[in-house]
Structure 1
Amino acid sequence: ITDGRTHDSLFQVENKYLLEVEAAKYRDICSQYKYMREIRGDGNCFYRALCFGHLESLLQNDRALQRNSDTKWQSLAAGFDENSSKDFLYVLGQCEADEHGDKLLQLFNEQATFDSMVQYLRLLKSAYLQNLADFFSHFVEAPSFKVYCTQEVETMAMECDHVDILALSEALGVSIHIRELSPPCKTAHFDILYPHYCH
């Protein structure tokens, strides 16, 4: 994760996308968002962007952070090996204790920490999908829904699709807003956009 929020305005990266995106569409996005934080494109970018953005938002709001305390994350991990949520809870605790706000970025740039957090979100999403298999199985193509969850959801570096995004959004109880910057024919990649009203 780059520390781009404080340095790279969207206008500064316009040339990077200008050839791929219609200028009017890009200007519309720039009018609504002030900064972009680039996320490494490794098949896990959705999880990294969602997790970082969500935790960053929680850390800026004490009341929201209390509502999303250890109890919530532990209950979401019910049925998993206890270690699956340990690193997630560790990161949350480290960030709560950080007075300067630098810890979240530091932890997300540690590969081992990041991998364990992504794996936790993948397992959480898999459990959510399987608990609601009667609904979600109609939207995936696989020999069986269990195979889909094992091969496409739980496996690291596998990209997300709409079903996966919906399931994780519902499992975490968060709203996810997605804006498209690249042409639809391109492989999906996720970065974090910060609205103008964001401090």
Structure 2
Amino acid sequence: MESDHDFSADLAAQEAAARDYQPNLEGPLVGDRIPSEAISHAYAQADPVYVQKTLALPHTYSHYRPVRGDGSCGWRATFFGYFEALIRSGDASLITAERDRITQFPIIGHSEMIYEDMRDEVVILMSDIANALPNQAAAMDVLVQRFNDLDVANSILYYLRLLASSWLKSGDPSANDLAAFIPDGVGLHGYCQNYLELSDHEIEHIGLVILHNVLLKPCGIVLEIAYLDRTPGSEVNTYRIPGDAEGQDPSTMGPFIHLLFRPDHYDIIYPHAPPPPPPAPLDIQVNRMSAMTPSFPSNFMYSDTDMTALTLIPGMGLGSGLPPLAVPSAPSIESYSPSPQSPWMPSPFAESLPIRQQQQQQQQVPQLKQERSTPVLRAASAVPQSAVRQTDSVRFSVHCHPQFAVENETWKEPPFTTATFKNSHFNKAHYNNPNFQPEEYRPEEDENNYEPVRRNQRARRSH
């Protein structure tokens, strides 16, 4: 019994609040977006139920747009939300199609002379919005400016009332189903005349369903209403039109219009933007190499290089017997075409070499160049060592490898006569000499030099 008494008391309090409610006729007809925390501050000293629900409101809704409570706020909020959803789509052709649809809808029970000016305002508004796209900010400026022009706004809203009334009279099966909810004794025409078409009469739940069927349903817009009342719960209760949209994921549905209902008043409210979808998993593919195969031929750096100048260095002659460089076992995938290189500069000391060595170079260099012109790589395991192409010989100093020294050298170093000559750069054993060649230590010469000294010492002892 106590619960029934409390419910009756709450219902009476709501009815009293509705009767005592004074519409806010100040400010714009449709205001700018305001953070939803402003609603929490406005209800800070109200009933604890409202305080709790308004404190939870910013967790779901980020902003709201105040609408003047002059008895047409529900119609104005729904029609404004309809245009706003069309602008968010960014599709000018959709707006043009909707303009033709709602302005060509037959108005039942009224002469065209009564509503043609109102219809023209709708045509002009929707045409201007379509022309402003794809700039959505400019289109929103047009919408807000027209809805805050009192004469234009009243014409647009009254045409919307006639549109809802005509749909209910049209005999549509859905309209016939709604006719069963009309209060007894009012009748279909009475409800249209006294509830839908009457100026400054706030919209009811049946009117919202009618408005959804004639205005929102053809373009797939869902209407969601958040009720801020004294019903149990710590958050506002929501209801969607159509009813089969309840419990469905908004991301799988069409655009939404969100209204906030307070006793006998409607505002537009905006939920937080949905979080971005998680990034798709990256499909990383790794190409692993089974073997490292060189794509360039062996000795490619020296294949077309003129090595003639190297033969002019003492001990670097072509007739030496260095073994050939090893040929890599892996064959080349593609032929190598090196860029042409200029021959090396001839040594300025080439004139001091013997004539026999120059003739030997002239006989061997053409054969060496012919071998370089067609380099062929073969696997070392597939061909015998004797079949492998002879590569360029690398010569070292004769003092590092005496066995490779030139045996029949005709030009000899003149004997050193003075200490001045030995310490000058003219001495070939001096490090500043361009043809620097260190002296070779020969023990047999030391034996020959010390033999006369030993004879003299023995002669002195005998005397």
Distance change in 2, residues 1:37/1:140 (3 Å):
same
Q: CA RMSD in A?
A: 2.3
1:42 deviates by 0.9
1:129 deviates by 1.4
After the TM superposition, which residues 50-199 of structure 1 pair with which residues of structure 2 at under 5 Å, given as runs? 50-63=78-91, 65-69=92-96, 70-77=99-106, 81=112, 83=116, 84-98=118-132, 99=135, 100=138, 101-132=140-171, 134-141=176-183, 142-172=185-215, 173=217, 174-183=221-230, 187-197=263-273
Say how many residue pairs are matched. 194
Tell me which of the two structures has the higher relative contact order, counting C-alpha pairs closer than 8 angstroms and 6 or more residues apart.
Answer: 1
Partner SS for 1:176: strand
Instruction: Give per-residue Cα distances to partners, 1:104-141, cap 9 Å, x unaligned.
Output: 11110001111011111101110111224532222112
1:78 deviates by 5.4
Task: Give 5+ residue unaligned stretches, structure 1.
Answer: none
Distance change in 2, residues 1:27/1:187 (3 Å):
closer
How many Å separate the matches in 1 of 2:207 and 2:223?
12
The reply on whether 1:17 has 2:43 as its aligned counterpart is: yes
How many Å separate the matches in 2 of 1:91 and 1:2?
16
How many Å separate the matches in 1 of 2:147 and 2:39?
23
Q: Which has the larger radius of gyration?
A: 2
How many Å separate the matches in 2 of 1:87 and 1:136?
30
Segments ≥4 residues shifted beyond 4 Å? 77-80
Letter in 2 for 1:23: V
Partner SS for 1:178: strand
How many Å separate the matches in 2 of 1:182 and 1:39?
18
Distance change in 2, residues 1:42/1:182 (3 Å):
farther
Partner SS for 1:96: helix
- Percent of residue pairs identical: 24
1:96 deviates by 2.7
How many Å separate the matches in 2 of 1:145 and 1:138?
9
Instruction: Give per-residue Cα distances to partners, 1:77-124, cap 9 Å, x unaligned.
Output: 555626142111111112233452311111100011110111111011
1:75 deviates by 3.3
How many Å separate the matches in 2 of 1:107 and 1:146?
31
> Bigger shift: 20-29 or 43-52?
20-29
Distance change in 2, residues 1:140/1:30 (3 Å):
same
How many Å separate the matches in 2 of 1:71 and 1:78?
14
| TM-score, with structure 2 as normaliser | 0.39
Letter in 2 for 1:17: Y
Partner SS for 1:102: helix
Higher share of residues assigned helix? 1
| TM-score, with structure 1 as normaliser | 0.86
Contact 1:73 1:85 in 2 (8 A): no
Distance change in 2, residues 1:179/1:71 (3 Å):
same
Instruction: Give per-residue Cα distances to partners, 1:37-60, cap 9 Å, x unaligned.
Output: 100001100111011111112112
How many Å separate the matches in 2 of 1:146 and 1:49?
25
Contact 1:129 1:167 in 2 (8 A): yes
Task: Give 5+ residue unaligned stretches, structure 2.
Answer: 1-28, 232-261, 275-463
The reply on whether 1:42 has 2:81 as its aligned counterpart is: no
Letter in 1 for 2:81: G
